[in-house]
């Protein structure tokens, strides 16, 4: 009997095992996730997230799904845009990340128009045509079946709604690529060992970025999922990209 496999970082694992392996990574780093994001990106991740929210064109009164929302950074930004008339669903497959995000949002006093849901992006438990925007930031690369996830996002969008994918991507020049590789594979795991006491998880995170589809490939995947007017915006020399597509 043939066993279906997929990648977990640079390793091949049984497809059915990847969800639990990814869950283990984020269970381990949840408590230090925000600190590590600052260290990994030198704080630039905050700018990347603001740009993604701007490109979402979210307005007052709209319904937003913040997938793989983790510790709630994007939800905080979206909440300012939708106002009390709108609503955000902060969703994550990982209970530890979701709990951390909920606690932090409550501490910030954001309680009125935010709901929480533990979900798998590949099979979202929402009705068709529910959301004006579905955003997934730094989460798509951890999804086992990305095509299924993109189809699911398309399904729950309202006509005229948009999918926003903010993700680490592939540098557009060789110099940036070499510097980025040195940082990712030599320095990042050591930082993870010192700060989060977890070198292996941060080695996986670096590997998962390299296994993620390149910009044009992800754009094509979004089109294949039914999204239209798909485009992407490189930031920091392509280290990160925002992809955007619409449901017509």
> What pLDDT is recorded for position 217?
98
What is the structure's pLDDT at 29?
64
Rounded Cα distance, 203 and 10, in Å: 10
Domain edges within the chain: 45-170+215-246
Q: Say what angle helices 15-29 and 199-211 make with each other, to 10 degrees.
A: 130
Q: Which residues contact 56 (CB under 8 A, 6 or more apart)?
A: 64, 78, 133, 135, 162, 164, 244
Phi, psi of 132 (to 5 degrees): -80, -25
Q: Are 58 and 132 in contact (CB under 8 A)?
A: yes
Question: What pLDDT score was predicted for residue 38?
Answer: 78
Tens of pLDDT, residue by residue, the chain (248 residues): 445 777 666 767 677 767 666 666 666 666 677 777 777 777 899 999 999 999 999 999 999 999 999 889 999 999 999 999 999 999 999 888 899 899 999 999 998 899 999 999 999 999 999 999 999 999 999 899 999 999 999 999 999 999 999 999 999 999 999 998 998 888 888 888 887 787 887 788 888 888 899 999 999 999 999 999 999 999 999 999 999 999 99
Count the alpha carbons within 13 Å of 90 in the hemisphere toward its beta carbon: 30
3-state SS string over 153-212?
HHHHEEEEEEEEEEEECCCCCHHHHHHHHHHHHHHHHHHHHHHCCCHHHHHHHHHHHHHC
120 carries a ligand binding annotation: yes
| Total count of residues recorded for the chain | 248
- The answer to whether 104 and 43 are in contact (CB under 8 A) is no
State the helix-helix crossing angle for 199-211 and 188-195, rounded to 10 degrees.
Answer: 140
pLDDT for position 17: 66
The pLDDT of residue 2 is 44
Q: Report the Cα 142 to chain-centroid distance in Å.
A: 8
Whole-angstrom CA distances from 81 to 24, 51, 61, 113, 205 are: 33, 13, 8, 12, 31
CATH 3.40.50.150 is the classification of domain 45-170+215-246: yes
Q: Is 225 annotated as a binding residue?
A: no
State residue 199's pLDDT score.
83
Q: How far apart are CA 23 and CA 221, in angstroms?
A: 25
């Amino acid at each position: 009997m043939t066993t279906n496999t997929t990648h977990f970082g640079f390793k091949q694992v049984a497809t059915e095992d990847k969800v639990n392996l990814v869950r283990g990574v984020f269970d381990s780093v949840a408590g230090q996730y925000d600190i590590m994001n600052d260290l990994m990106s030198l704080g630039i991740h905050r700018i990347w997230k603001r740009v993604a929210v701007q490109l979402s064109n979210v307005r007052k009164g709209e319904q937003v799904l913040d997938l793989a929302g983790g510790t709630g950074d994007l939800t905080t930004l979206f909440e300012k845009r939708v106002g009390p008339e709108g609503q955000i669903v902060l969703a994550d497959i990982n209970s530890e990340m979701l709990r951390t995000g909920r606690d932090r949002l409550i501490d910030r006093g954001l309680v009125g128009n935010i709901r929480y849901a533990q979900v798998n992006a590949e099979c979202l438990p929402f009705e068709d045509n529910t959301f004006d925007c579905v955003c997934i930031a730094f989460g798509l690369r951890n999804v086992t079946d990305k095509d299924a996830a993109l189809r699911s996002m398309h399904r729950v969008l309202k006509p005229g709604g948009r999918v926003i994918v903010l993700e680490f991507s592939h540098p557009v020049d060789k110099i940036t690529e070499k510097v980025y590789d040195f940082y990712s594979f030599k320095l990042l795991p050591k930082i993870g060992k010192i700060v989060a006491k977890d070198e292996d998880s941060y080695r996986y995170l670096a590997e998962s970025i390299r296994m993620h589809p390149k910009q044009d490939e992800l754009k094509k995947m979004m089109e294949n999922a039914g999204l239209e007017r798909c485009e992407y915006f490189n930031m920091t020399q392509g280290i990160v990209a925002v992809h955007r597509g619409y449901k017509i």
